[in-house]
Amino acid sequence: MGNAMTPEQTVMQLIIGAGQAKKLAFDAIQAARDNHIETADQLLEQATKALAGAHQIQSDALRADAATQQQPTLLMVHAQDHLSMAMTAMELGREIVAIYRRLSENTNDK
């Protein structure tokens, strides 16, 4: 039990993981815009891993709250909002990189 995170640590880890995923997704968009499609794909893969880690933290926290019948704190709701924004950034990142990929392929075909 000594390794259990405090609620504040859990919230911070969730925000950090979500923030990292969001940043990597936007970095992927920038790489694709600069025609570095392979780099963009690698960044999206890293973002996916960061998002999965954050999502696991959220799932564990929600499970713990349900077991103790605790209501989520305002800080946890805030952290979940960060996770939601990161998930949206990931979806948009994938779509925008795909658009840049198609543009790059069409340019190279000419």
**Backbone torsion region of residue 69, taken as left when φ is above 0, otherwise alpha when ψ lies between -120 and 50, otherwise beta:** left
Separation of alpha carbons 50 and 106, rounded Å? 32
| 81 annotated as ligand-binding | yes
Where do we find the tokens 């929600």? 62
Q: Which of 36, 55, 78, 82 is catalytic?
A: 78
Specify whether 36 is catalytic: no
94: which residues sit within 8 A by CB, 6+ positions away?
44
Annotated binding-site positions for Mg(2+): 81
Annotated binding-site positions: 81
Catalytic residues: 78
